Structure 1
Amino acid sequence: MRILKTCLVGFVLLAANAASAAIEVKPYVDATAVDLLHILPPPPADDSAQTLAELGEILTIQVARTPAMAERARADSAENIWRFADVLGDKFTAENLPKLAALAERLTKTEDVVVKPAKKGFNRPRPYVLNKLVDPLRAGTSMSASGSWPSGHTTLGTLMGIVLADMVPEKKAALMRRAWEYGDNRVVAGVHYRSDVEMGRIAGSVIAATLIARADFRRDFDAARKELRRALDLPPPG
């Protein structure tokens, strides 16, 4: 009986691993298609006037930020599309929008595989690594050791904002303001320099422009757009 139980447990684990592999999220493109090391300029030197000025901005914000600002910045450390519920309302949830949720997972994976090589290649130290006076807002128990240039959160936030604005052009201005705030909160949190955020906005825009030409993205986009507009009681796309 013990041997049978062991075999059954092994079978369940193998089946679970196989299922996990089968549903692995795949990016739409990777760094071979969007090579940020060649698209973006290099970051300013650690001892440059620009970096020192950006550190000064972070430290000034650190002193002036309110508890509400800090809470908002911490919340925006979550890398997910549902942070845009501020604009799109209570119906904007993964439970209501499974097709959009699946598309968002692929966008997140795409940002990850495009941005990671650039972060490693540029290797700009985070503000709190370069200057110990910076007290970053922690969303978890540890702080990222990855490079700072460009901001991956801002890249993803910009990408998601553009995609959602294309789905719901009626709310384009509000969605893009929210995307900009999402990036700005990386500076409020003390985890990125202002120029990291600017580079993230460029990176997110380039990825969005690349995806629009891909048939697989267009297929997922069209399905998610119909689902989203139906959930928000908006007319179907023209």
Structure 2
Amino acid sequence: MHKYSRLAAMGLALALSFSSPLFAEEKAKPFSDAKEINLLNLLPPPPANDSVQTKAEIGQVLTIQVTRTPDMEARAVADQEENVWRFSDVIDNPKFSKDNLPKFSAFFDRVVETEGAVVDPAKDVWKRPRPHLLYPELVKPVVKLTKSGSYPSGHTTVGTLMGVVLSNMLPEKRDVIMHRAWEFGWNRVIGGIHYPSDIEAGRIAGITIASTIMTHDDYKTEFEAAKAELRAALGL
């Protein structure tokens, strides 16, 4: 009986060890951070809550709220995912998948992490309340609610950043990729979770981050490997 108890205890300990943070997937390392790219020095402060601009932007949000279609809402909900695979519809190739592109996937994991490392500190300083927090009785988002700062839009930043990087790998698809990146950001307004000025600031931030990390040696090395893998997989 004691033998079986010891075996059970060993099995439990082994199971717990594999569920511990020690075995958790390692987080991708960003290519840059807010020390190098300080958005507080790049972007103007967001409009004040009681400003004419914010009130006008709330009007835009409310107009969209009553005119958006179910398809528009579904698109906004789907674009909550912050990853490069949201560009699958414009790449339009079954080989464009995580399983087929391990180097590309790992590279873009770092690209996505860079957005948070740069944008989150600025959000925490400005603390612009999102539309549904400023006017909770009026604004009804269709996407996941959050209380984090609204300005600049992190989704827009990362969408723009991914679009710039991806279009540099596939210049023959630049127009459709950047159109998709713009839509990715605007879907945050359609979803009711951001102001238009958040989107504008996010696009500026995304382009700035892209132009900065392009100068880094580790970025250049990983970019070329990811680009070669992608183009080979797509037959380009």
Residue 147 of structure 2 aligns with which residue? 145
Structure 2, unpaired ranges of 5+: none
SS of the residue corresponding to residue 179 of structure 1 reads: helix
Change (3 A) 1:144 1:185: same
- More displaced 10-residue stretch of structure 1: 11-20 or 109-118: 11-20
Residue 29 of structure 1 aligns with which residue? 32
Task: State TM-score, norm by structure 1.
Answer: 0.92
Find the aligned partners of 2:28 and 2:160 in 1 and give their Cα distance: 20
- More displaced 10-residue stretch of structure 1: 41-50 or 2-11: 2-11
Structure 1, unpaired ranges of 5+: none
Find the aligned partners of 1:207 and 1:167 in 2 and give their Cα distance: 17
Change (3 A) 1:123 1:173: same
* 67, 70, 75: which one aligns with 2:73: 70
| Residue 116 of structure 2 corresponds to residue 91 of structure 1 | no
- Which amino acid letter does the alignment assign opposite residue 41 of structure 1? P
Residue 162 of structure 1 aligns with which residue? 164
Residue 206 of structure 1 aligns with which residue? 208
Residue 185 of structure 1 aligns with which residue? 187
- Which amino acid letter does the alignment assign opposite residue 107 of structure 2? L
Change (3 A) 1:72 1:7: same
Change (3 A) 1:11 1:222: same
Aligned-residue RMSD, C-alpha: 1.5
- Which amino acid letter does the alignment assign opposite residue 235 of structure 2? D
SS of the residue corresponding to residue 173 of structure 1 reads: helix
* Greater Rg over alpha carbons, structure: 2
Cα displacement string for residues 160-202 of structure 1 (whole angstroms, at most 9, x for unaligned residues): 0000000000000110000000011111001000000000001
Find the aligned partners of 1:6 and 1:217 in 2 and give their Cα distance: 47
User: Is the Cα–Cα contact under 8 Å of residues 143 and 192 in structure 2 kept in the other structure?
Assistant: no
Cα displacement string for residues 72-117 of structure 1 (whole angstroms, at most 9, x for unaligned residues): 1111111111010011113211111111111111111111121111
Map of 1:1-238 to 2, 5 A cutoff? 1=3, 2-11=5-14, 13-14=16-17, 17-20=21-24, 23-89=26-92, 90-132=94-136, 133-139=138-144, 143-234=145-236
User: Is the Cα–Cα contact under 8 Å of residues 154 and 202 in structure 2 kept in the other structure?
Assistant: yes
Find the aligned partners of 1:162 and 1:3 in 2 and give their Cα distance: 57
Find the aligned partners of 2:54 and 2:130 in 1 and give their Cα distance: 11
SS of the residue corresponding to residue 221 of structure 2 reads: helix
Cα displacement string for residues 123-153 of structure 1 (whole angstroms, at most 9, x for unaligned residues): 10000000120110124xxx11100000000
SS of the residue corresponding to residue 24 of structure 2 reads: helix
Find the aligned partners of 1:91 and 1:178 in 2 and give their Cα distance: 19
User: Is the Cα–Cα contact under 8 Å of residues 143 and 193 in structure 2 kept in the other structure?
Assistant: no
Give the number of aligned pairs. Answer: 230
- Which amino acid letter does the alignment assign opposite residue 189 of structure 2? V
User: Is the Cα–Cα contact under 8 Å of residues 29 and 113 in structure 2 kept in the other structure?
Assistant: yes
- Which amino acid letter does the alignment assign opposite residue 227 of structure 1? E
- Which amino acid letter does the alignment assign opposite residue 184 of structure 2? Y
Task: State TM-score, norm by structure 2.
Answer: 0.93
SS of the residue corresponding to residue 42 of structure 1 reads: coil
Shift of 1:11: 4.5
Shift of 1:17: 3.3
